[in-house]
Amino acid sequence: MYFYTNAVVIALVIIVASASTVKWVPNGSFNLPNNYKDGKLPCSKQTVVLPEVLSASVKLQSEIDVGGFVLPSEGYIILDGVVMLGDSGEENCTDGNAFYLERSTSAWNQAGAWSSSRFNAATPDSERLPCYYDKVEFPNSRYTARLPQLEQTVRVLKIGDKSYGTQSFRTWVSTEVDTEQNFVFNDYMSTGVSVRYMVCTHKFGCPCQENPIEIDCSVKYCTQPTCVAPVKPPGFCCKVCGGYITFEVDDMFNRKAFEELVDKMVSSYSSNLVYHIGFTPVKRSRTVLLVVVEEGEYTGRSAEVINDIDRSVDRDWFKGQKQAFYSGSPLSKAGMGGKIFVSVFFIVILVLSSIYLYYYKLPTVEVPFLNRGTRGMFRFQRRSDSVVSLTSRRDSTTIGGVRTAFRNPLYDSKRGRVQVAESVVEE
pLDDT given for residue 332 in this prediction: 81
Among the ranges given (48-62, 88-102, 350-364), the one the predictor scored with the smallest mean pLDDT: 350-364
> Is 420 a residue whose pLDDT tops 80?
no
pLDDT given for residue 128 in this prediction: 95
Query: Which structural domains are found in the chain, ordered by start?
Result: 19-24+106-196 (no CATH), 33-102 (no CATH), 242-330 (3.30.70), 337-417 (no CATH)
pLDDT tens digit sequence for 259-286: 999 999 999 987 899 999 999 999 989 9
pLDDT tens digit sequence for 91-104: 788 889 999 887 66
Taking residues 124-129, report their average pLDDT.
96
pLDDT given for residue 15 in this prediction: 54
51 confidence band (pLDDT: 50, 70, 90): confident
Among the ranges given (111-115, 166-170, 198-202, 416-420), the one the predictor scored with the smallest mean pLDDT: 416-420
Q: What mean pLDDT value characterizes the chain?
A: 79
pLDDT tens digit sequence for 357-394: 666 554 544 444 444 444 444 444 444 444 443 444 44
> Is 75 a residue whose pLDDT tops 90?
no
Asked if 103 and 113 touch (Cβ cutoff 8 Å), the reply is no
